[in-house]
Amino acid sequence: MCLWGPPPALYTWGMVTPICDKCRRRNVVSFQVEPKDAWRTVVLNRWRTICPSCFDAEAERAGVRYRFVGVGAMSWSDRPEPARRYARKPR
């Protein structure tokens, strides 16, 4: 668990895609922020996960300078196919 950024969102459990806690959109981009204090200053423990566009908007409002490092993304086509569940046939 990183103290200065969200945990990587590259791995998903099943077909669950991480959601940005601020804008409620899918967050398929994982990132970290340098300097480490920028994350704490912008997020202020308000959100557990936040997308890069929301972080950028909040950092601009707060007047915080930062840069993204360790950026990674997952395409919808890279995710595994969902498990097929076969329904019982009615008797």
What is the rounded distance in angstroms from the CA atom of residue 13 to the CA atom of residue 90? 31
Average confidence (pLDDT) over 14-39: 82
Whether 15 maps to a domain, the answer reads yes
Average confidence (pLDDT) over 61-77: 83
More confident residue, 5 or 69: 69
Q: Which residues contact 77 (CB under 8 A, 6 or more apart)?
A: none
* Placement of tokens 């008797």 in the chain: 91
Whether 10 maps to a domain, the answer reads yes
Q: Which domain holds residue 57?
A: 1-75
Whether 87 maps to a domain, the answer reads no
What is the rounded distance in angstroms from the CA atom of residue 86 to the CA atom of residue 79? 21
Please tell me the pTM assigned to this model.
Answer: 0.63
Whether 64 maps to a domain, the answer reads yes
Average confidence (pLDDT) over 2-26: 65
Whether 50 maps to a domain, the answer reads yes
How many domains, in total, are found in the chain?
1
